[in-house]
Amino acid sequence: MANINFVPDDYVQSNESRRANLMCLVLFSVVIAALGGSFVMIRIRQRACRAEEALVNAKMTRMHKAIAQFEQLQAKRKEMMKTALTTAELIEPVPRSILLASLTNNLPAGTSLVKLDLVQKEPPKTASRGAPQTKYQAAQGQSVASEAKQSPEKQLETFMDIEGVAPSDLQVAAYIEHLGQSLLLTNVALVESKETKVDDNTFRRFKLKAMLSQEIRLTQDDVDEIRATAESSIYQF
C-alpha cells in the first residue's frame, strides 16, 4: 500500500529552512564566543607581558644605577690609590736637608759635591724559590708582608746619584769609605771617576750611587748633631 503524505511541501521547506537558520545561528554564536574568548585571552596575555616588561625594566634600571654607583666607587678608589701613592712618594723617612748635611759631613778635605739626585721607586716583585722555610720563618715572612701591605710607603726605596769633584782618587775612595760607614746609606758604589780640569787645575770628577737605608730612624738628638756638624764643616772649605 503506498504511503500518502498529507503535509504540504511548503511547510516541509519552511521547517528545513528554520532548522538551517537555527544551525547557522548556533554556529555563528559559537564562532563569536570563540573570538571573544580569544580576544580576552590575548588581552590578558598582553597585560601579563606588559607587567613582566615593566618588572624587567625596573630591574634593569636598578642594575644600571648599581653599575653606575660601582663605576663611581671604582673611580674614587683609583683616585684614592693615586693620592695615597703620591702621598707615599712624598713621605721622606729622612729629611733631605739632613741627608744633604750627612753627605757634606763625610766629604774629605778638598772634595765638594756638584749634583745630587733622589729617586723613590717601588722594589721589584720577584717570586723566589728558595729552600723550604720553617714555620717560624714563614710566619715572620707573613708578618713582614702584612706590615708592608698596611704601610705602602715602607715599600718605597730611595736611590741617590751623587756627583762631585775631588783632588785625586784617594779622596774619592775615602769619601766612598765614609759613606759606607754612614748609618743613613747602603749599597754605596762608584759609577765613574774621570779626570777634569777647572781653571787649569786637574781634579777627579766622580759619580756614585747609593741607597737610603729603610730601617733608619733618626732621633732629634741625631738630627741636631748632624746639623751642627754640617754648619761647622761649611767653614772648612
pTM over 0.85: no
What pLDDT sits at residue 182?
82
The residues with which 162 forms a beta bridge, in sequence order, are 116, 208
The residues with which 185 forms a beta bridge, in sequence order, are 212
Helix runs in 151-219, H state only? 169-181
Residues in the chain: 237
Which of 46-60, 71-85, 139-153, 220-234 is modeled with the greatest confidence? 46-60
| Beta-carbon count within 10 A of 88 CB | 16
How far, in Å, CA of 226 to CA of 221, rounded?
9
Helix runs in the chain, H state only? 9-90, 96-105, 135-150, 169-181, 220-234
Write the class of the CATH domain 96-123+152-234: alpha beta
Instruction: Check residues 102 and 150 and name the one with the higher pLDDT.
Output: 102
Q: What's the pLDDT band for 206 if we cut at 50, 70, 90?
A: very high
Which of 1-5, 98-102, 177-181, 222-226 is modeled with the greatest confidence? 177-181
pLDDT tens column, 170-185: 999 999 998 888 878 8
Sequence spans of domains, the chain? 9-90, 96-123+152-234
Task: State mean pLDDT over 157-167.
Answer: 88
Q: What is the DSSP letter of 93?
A: S
